[in-house]
Amino acid sequence: MKLLHAYPLKGMFQPGERVRFRLALEAKTATRARVQALITHLDRPVGRVSRSVDLQPGHQNIDLTWRSPAAAPRGYGVAFSLWKEEQRLGRPLFTAFDVLPAWTTFPRYGFLTDFAPGRTDMAATCERLSRFHINGLQFYDWQFRHDALLPPDEEYVDPLGRTLSLRTVREFITAAHEHGMAAMPYLAIYAASLEFWRDHPQWRLVDERGEALTFMDFLGLMDPTAGRGWSEHLLNECTRALAALPFDGLHVDQYGEPRKAFDVQGDAVNLPQAFVDFIGSLKKRHPTKTVVFNAVSAWPIEALANSRQDFEYIEIWPPDADYADVLRIVQDARRLSGGRPVVIALYLPATRPAHVRLADALIFSAGGSRIELGEQARLLADPYFPKHQALSSELESILRRYYDFAVRYGELLGPYVHDRPTLRVKAPPGVCSIARRSGRYLTVALINFTGVEPRRWDEAHPEPVSHENPAVFIEIEAPVVRAWWASPDRHDPAMHSIPHHRQGEWLRVAPPHLDYWTILVIELGA
């Protein structure tokens, strides 16, 4: 008999909420066994749950529960083990969970795209995503029309000819809420159907020659300036949608172009200001709802970082194709917004697992996250979300470990941790280091690009060359109490004590290995 899977049944938990875990087991014969969960906070055990079970031949699921403390935000690791009498059977399985005051404290965004009539797997879809701790879902292209979000009937056809069902949308919202996930409906700030666009010529956006602007031959672009006809119409559509469906907020898109446009009178339209004003109007009308706006190619991030949106959402495109560009964009957005969470949309194919691992390690370590997992735990590989791709079993297992790691150590790596960009770190050539500070803990994330050429996320490149015992030097003036290392790249993600040595103003630490992603955690004295 053995443990197959173990995971929490929600993407996140509220302070004091009872945490529920699901364990999948396999037995060849009927037998009695005991399952045990050891819960840790950083390096300290904080809870233990044990349950005796009578197993029947084949597969079966059992649940364990544990009451979470009220402290938040806080991440926890969990090690599950299976025992027969006093003998442990096989290796432990690991997962994690966190307790957050709101999902926007550490957004881990997923996506849904299939709202077809007759769909029945809404709860199963959300449960599978809970294995990755997804706590927010973008309902992509759920709407009837870009200018009329709600359909006239329960079943409807979207602008691209897909048959959709409002009942499916409602049931997905319910399933998302039951699994600790926010439901965020998609809309575009200036897109309208060609029929609506033709009927409202005075609301159009035009170029410098006065020619009307369209998008992909099936949408017309409208003037989003605050107080004008289109903006007021779309605000009212948002209010209608939120009144009819229990969505948790609004995900607002733009297309990155045009960046320069005019109204039909020939006056320049200040698009960044229009975006910020629209966000402000949504928050004024719906103060309890989450609002997020897409900064395509990080434009106009300076304006959006000073808006009232709840976190930064940035779609990255070439020419920002170096991994260093990804890090810079995350760090700049956090700096400009005063430390708000950052969600990155970066479309990587499932056939390039090394790219996925490096990008995720880099983004998580910088205090961000990436929208990449959705329908049936498939990978977001295209800006048109329905073109998602299947994960290999190996990459799915890796991503579960990476999300476990980011959640478990959210207090060391997450968006609510301070950044220390001026701290000096000397790492081996090809190793990127990112330093963060949380109370008495200093964390240095090491992301391994050794042998990665070209160092671009949009081109094929080999896996990094692993390091054994890489020496890392950290400039630290304060006394050091203890040091640990941890990594999601091998089986055990726990914090392990590690020797540290003073060499003048530098602290020398050498983790046993660096494959893709390892962190060093230093506890500082007074």
CATH code of the domain in which 495 resides: 2.60.40.1180
The answer to whether 248 touches 184, Cβ cutoff 8 Å, is yes
Assess whether pLDDT exceeds 90 at residue 56: no
Higher-pLDDT residue of 419 and 229 is 229
Q: How far apart are CA 339 and CA 324, in angstroms?
A: 19
Rounded to an integer, the average pLDDT of 446-466 is 98
Chain centroid, CA 296 distance in Å: 17
pLDDT band at 460 (very low <50, low <70, confident <90, very high): very high
Return the closest-CA partner of residue 445 out of 492, 409, 477, 397. 409
Instruction: Give phi and psi for 324, each to the nearest 5.
Output: -60, -30
Domain boundary among 52, 77, 99: 99
- Say if 275 falls within a structural domain: no
- Say if 22 falls within a structural domain: yes
pLDDT of residue 183: 98
- Percentage of residues in the chain having pLDDT higher than 90: 91
Rounded to an integer, the average pLDDT of 31-55 is 93
Asked if the peptide bond before residue 101 counts as cis, ω within 30 degrees of 0, the response is no
For 244-268, what is each residue's pLDDT tens digit? 999 999 999 999 999 999 999 999 9
Rounded to an integer, the average pLDDT of 123-129 is 97
DSSP string, 345-363: E----TT-HHHHHHHHHHH
Rounded to an integer, the average pLDDT of 108-116 is 98
The single-letter DSSP state of residue 396 is H
Amino acid found at 284: K
DSSP percent split of the chain into helix, strand, coil, nearest 5: 25, 35, 40
Region for residue 134 given its phi and psi (left: phi exceeds 0; alpha: psi -120 to 50; beta: otherwise) = beta
Flag the least confident range among 68-72, 111-115, 286-290.
Answer: 68-72
- Say if 167 falls within a structural domain: no
pLDDT of residue 447: 98
pLDDT band at 1 (very low <50, low <70, confident <90, very high): confident
The single-letter DSSP state of residue 213 is P
pLDDT of residue 489: 97
- Say if 292 falls within a structural domain: no
What's the angle, vertex CA 409, arms to CA 179 and CA 497, rounded to 5?
Answer: 140
pLDDT of residue 55: 86
Pairing mode, strands 163-165 and 155-157: antiparallel
What total of structural domains would you count in the chain? Answer: 2
Return the closest-CA partner of residue 191 out of 146, 156, 248, 157. 146
Pairing mode, strands 87-99 and 74-84: antiparallel
- Percentage of residues in the chain having pLDDT higher than 70: 100
Look up the pTM and report it: 0.96
pLDDT band at 90 (very low <50, low <70, confident <90, very high): confident
Assess whether pLDDT exceeds 90 at residue 86: no
What's the angle, vertex CA 333, arms to CA 110 and CA 327, rounded to 5?
Answer: 80
Chain centroid, CA 31 distance in Å: 40
Higher-pLDDT residue of 418 and 153 is 153
- Say if 240 falls within a structural domain: no
Domain that holds residue 33: 2-99
Q: How far apart are CA 53 and CA 89, in angstroms?
A: 14
Q: Residue 79 maps to which CATH number?
A: 2.60.40.10
pLDDT of residue 421: 72
pLDDT of residue 526: 78
Rounded to an integer, the average pLDDT of 235-241 is 98
For 159-205, what is each residue's pLDDT tens digit? 999 999 999 999 999 999 999 999 999 999 999 999 999 999 999 99
pLDDT of residue 93: 95
pLDDT of residue 442: 95
Instruction: Give phi and psi for 17, each to the nearest 5.
Output: -75, 150
Strand order in the sheet with 44-55: 44-55, 31-41, 74-84, 87-99
The pLDDT mean for the chain works out to 96
pLDDT of residue 418: 84
Amino acid found at 115: F
Assess whether pLDDT exceeds 80 at residue 420: no
- Say if 12 falls within a structural domain: yes
pLDDT of residue 350: 97
- Say if 503 falls within a structural domain: yes
Rounded to an integer, the average pLDDT of 266-286 is 98
Higher-pLDDT residue of 526 and 199 is 199
Q: How far apart are CA 511 and CA 500, in angstroms?
A: 10
Q: How far apart are CA 412 and CA 42, in angstroms?
A: 9
Flag the least confident range among 20-34, 197-211, 370-384, 438-452.
Answer: 20-34
For 3-31, what is each residue's pLDDT tens digit? 999 999 999 999 999 999 999 999 888 88
Q: How far apart are CA 433 and CA 449, in angstroms?
A: 11
What's the angle, vertex CA 470, arms to CA 467 and CA 473, rounded to 5?
Answer: 150
Amino acid found at 261: A
Domain boundary among 99, 134, 160: 99
- Say if 327 falls within a structural domain: no
Domain boundary among 65, 99, 133: 99
